[in-house]
Amino acid sequence: MAQNRIDPEPAVDDERPGSARTGGNRLRYPFLRREFLAALEETGAVGGVTGWEPLHGPDDSCVWPLYRKWHSMGEYVFDQGWAAGYERVGLRYYPKLVTAVPFTPVPGPRWRGECADPAARVDRLLREEVAESGASGWHLLFPDSATREALRELPLVERLGCHFHWVNRGYDDFDGFLAALMSRKRKNLRRERRKVAEQGVAVERAVGADIPESWWRHFHQCYALTYLRRGQRPYLHPDFFKRLFATMAEQLMMVTASRHGELLAAALYLFDSERLYGRYWGTLEDLDGLHFELCYYQGIEFCIERDLEGFDPGVQGEHKLLRGFEPRLTRSLHWLSDPRFHAAVRDFCNEEARAVSDYMEQARAHLPYRRGV
């Protein structure tokens, strides 16, 4: 398997029924588009010394994103404990093979194109490619239900997680969404939005080619500062975002906050014909309610305006519950070549799944919706 240049492809899928909002075509899941993966590789986010070695193989009619990994960063399915277990008995956990979208914990399809027999392809990967690459195993992160169903006969261990997503129940506008909430929660959301304006902050939203170039100049500064404040280096270079704007602007939406004409915060989203994905955000100044406005409420408004089914705002954050984001199971699939560790991981994931299910039940009790809504 060798790294292969990823050529451009259309943003829309003409073979699927479309909606009025997309002109009869459906926008593709953005994170498997060639342009997205190529932007990661060609701006140095993966490849080289990053610990993400692309092994996608020939860019034929069926492409799986595949990487040989030398660490577990940027995956959001945390297996460092498994690696420590390997080390304790003198075995190497790294490298490992990972099928995922780097730095993007967003459930979705995990192959692009026509794959006649995906189970056979993965079976060959488990039997041959894992050994050839010197990897300890293979990990499939955040697959959608169709991907999991296609692989259900294989000896893969399923691991559960929990994210918080917003669901569009046919709201006419943001006030219609608020009407579905309990009175006290509804007042809290309105107060949070009002606080932003009371601090003299102007919020603007733009889509695609209408995103001003001046916004892009400030966006990466905001994004990078979010990492630097935590003592981390940003994963993504400014050129990554420039490439997205140049090659797939039709699937980008940006929200900015400014005061006295100076941009002080920004959030960048991607979207397709079904969902909005909140991916990158940053601020130069911490203001009350600003994160909620840019990263949640503007996204909800966008989904309602575009008739999108839902909104995935990113990982972490029980605070999302009080703002109408519901707990949703996420899944990953794992296979380790050492049968002892494969069995141990299976037992661990089974036990963890019970804890995740209990957590989700507890989380649902804190949702702000009125009974019967």
Per-residue pLDDT of the chain (373 residues; tens, 9 = 90+): 333 334 455 566 543 333 334 444 689 999 999 999 999 999 999 999 999 999 986 556 788 999 999 999 999 999 999 999 999 999 999 999 999 999 999 999 999 888 889 999 999 999 999 999 999 999 999 999 999 999 999 999 999 999 999 999 999 999 999 999 999 999 999 999 999 999 999 999 999 999 999 999 899 999 999 888 888 889 999 999 999 999 999 999 999 999 999 999 999 999 999 999 999 999 999 999 999 999 999 999 999 999 999 999 998 788 999 999 999 999 999 999 999 999 999 999 999 999 999 999 999 999 999 987 6
pTM for this one?
0.91
CA distance 136 to 96: 5
- Cβ-contact 223, 236 below 8 angstroms: yes
Tell me whether the CATH fold assigned to 12-163+327-364 matches the one assigned to 165-326.
Answer: yes
Q: Which pLDDT score is estimated for 373?
A: 67
- Cβ-contact 275, 311 below 8 angstroms: yes
AA letter at 79: D
Which residues make beta-bridge pairs with 157? 334
φ, ψ (nearest 5 deg) of residue 53 = -105, 110
How many C-beta atoms surround the C-beta of residue 35 within 10 A?
18
> In the chain, where are the structural domains located?
12-163+327-364, 165-326
CATH architecture type of domain 165-326: 3-Layer(aba) Sandwich (3.40)
Which CATH entry fits the domain spanning 12-163+327-364: 3.40.30, 2.60.40, 1.10.3470, 3.40.630? Answer: 3.40.630
